[in-house]
C-alpha cells in the first residue's frame, strides 16, 4: 500500500472514530441527564460502584448493568442473587442476598457484600429492591461515568469530540484546497 493510500485509510478511520465518539458521548450525557444521573442501555440501568464491598467480583469505580425488576419480580429473588436496593438513607447499594425471609405476604432479604465480614444490619424489604445484577461489569469506567454526569464532564465530553471533528474537518478542507490549487497550477502550466 502506498503512503498516500495508508494516509487516506488512517484519515477515514480517524473520522469514523471521532464521529462515533461524539455520538456515544452525546448519548451517554443525554441519557444520564434524562434518567436523573445514571443512563439506561438496552433495558438495563448502568450504575457506578462507589465502594469495594463486592470485590473482587465488582471493583470500586466500575460500572455495572442491573436489570430493573417489576413489583411482582421483587419478591421472587433467591439466595445468591446480587441485587441493587435503596437503603434507609435513600442511597443505592449492590450486595448479595444471603437469606430470604417470608412472613405472610411480606418478603425481606438479608444482604451482604462479598468483601464484608458480616451481613448488613438492616434487612431489605422486597419493595426497596431496584434491580438485579446482570453479570456485566466494566472495571474503572465508573470514574469516567461520574465525571460525564458532572457539569464539567458533560461540557467536556460533548465539546472536545465536537472540536476534534471541527479541527479534522478544517484539516480536510485545507488539504482539499491545496490539492485543488496543485491541480489548477498543473492545468495552467500545461496550457
Rounded to the nearest angstrom, the gap between the alpha carbon of residue 155 and the centroid of all alpha carbons in its chain is 17
Say whether 51 is catalytic.
yes
What are the Cα distances from residue 51, in Å, to 2, 19, 36, 119, 139?
52, 34, 21, 16, 13
Which residues partner with 63 through β-bridges? 48, 138
Same-domain status, 67 and 114: yes
Residue 56: is the preceding peptide bond cis (ω within 30°)?
yes
Give the CATH number of the domain where residue 47 resides.
2.10.109.10
Domain of 157? 1-34+150-191
Q: Give the total number of structural domains in the chain.
A: 2
Count of Cβ atoms closer than 10 Å to residue 41 Cβ? 12
All three cell numbers of 75, joined, read 419478591
- The verdict on 154 and 119 lying in the same domain is no
Judge if 25 and 98 occupy the same domain.
no
Which of 133, 149, 165 is at the close of a domain?
149
Low-confidence ranges of the chain (pLDDT < 50): none
Q: What are the DSSP calls for 28-73, one per residue?
A: HHHHHHHTTSS-EETTEEEEE--SSTTTTTS-TT-EEEEEE--TTT
- 130 and 56 housed in the same domain: yes
DSSP codes, 82-113: EEEEE-TTS-EEEEEEEEEEEETTEEEEEEE-
Is residue 87 domain-shared with residue 46, that is, in the same domain?
Answer: yes
At residue 50, the pLDDT reads 82
The sign of the CA dihedral 29, 35, 38, 42 is: negative
What pLDDT shows up at residue 40? 66
The pLDDT of residue 167? 84
Same-domain pairing of 143 and 154: no
Residue listed under C-alpha cell 442491573 = 66
Same domain, 56 and 105: yes
Residues 71 and 115 in one domain: yes
Residue from 51, 78, 146, 189 carrying the catalytic annotation: 51
Task: Look at residue 29 in the predicted model and tell me its pLDDT.
Answer: 62
**What's the first-to-final CA gap in the chain, in angstroms?**
33
- Cα 41 versus chain centre, distance: 8
Quote the CA–CA distance of 26 and 156 in Å, as a whole number.
11
Q: Are residues 26 and 8 in the same domain?
A: yes
Query: Strand, helix or coil at 48?
Result: strand
Residues 144 and 79 in one domain: yes
| DSSP 3-state of 75 | coil
Q: What pLDDT sits at residue 90?
A: 84
Is residue 50 located within the same domain as residue 128? yes
- pLDDT for residue 51: 83
Amino acid at each position: 500500500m502506498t503512503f498516500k493510500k495508508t494516509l487516506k485509510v488512517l484519515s477515514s478511520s480517524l473520522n469514523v472514530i471521532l464521529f462515533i465518539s461524539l455520538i456515544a458521548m452525546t448519548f451517554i450525557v443525554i441519557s444520564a441527564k434524562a434518567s436523573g444521573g445514571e443512563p439506561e442501555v438496552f433495558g438495563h440501568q448502568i450504575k457506578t460502584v462507589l465502594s469495594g464491598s463486592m470485590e473482587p467480583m465488582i471493583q470500586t469505580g466500575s460500572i455495572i448493568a442491573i436489570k430493573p425488576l417489576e413489583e411482582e419480580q421483587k419478591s421472587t429473588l433467591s439466595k445468591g442473587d446480587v441485587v441493587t436496593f435503596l437503603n434507609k438513607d435513600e442511597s443505592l447499594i449492590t450486595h448479595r442476598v444471603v437469606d430470604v425471609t417470608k412472613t405472610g405476604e411480606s418478603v425481606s432479604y438479608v444482604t451482604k457484600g462479598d468483601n464484608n465480614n458480616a451481613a448488613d444490619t438492616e434487612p431489605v424489604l422486597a419493595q426497596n429492591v431496584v434491580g438485579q445484577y446482570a453479570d456485566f461489569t466494566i472495571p474503572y469506567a465508573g470514574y469516567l461515568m461520574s465525571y460525564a454526569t458532572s457539569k464539567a464532564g458533560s461540557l467536556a465530553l460533548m465539546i472536545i469530540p465536537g472540536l476534534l471533528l471541527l479541527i479534522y474537518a478544517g484539516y480536510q478542507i485545507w488539504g482539499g484546497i491545496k490539492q485543488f490549487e496543485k491541480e489548477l497550477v498543473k492545468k495552467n502550466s500545461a496550457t
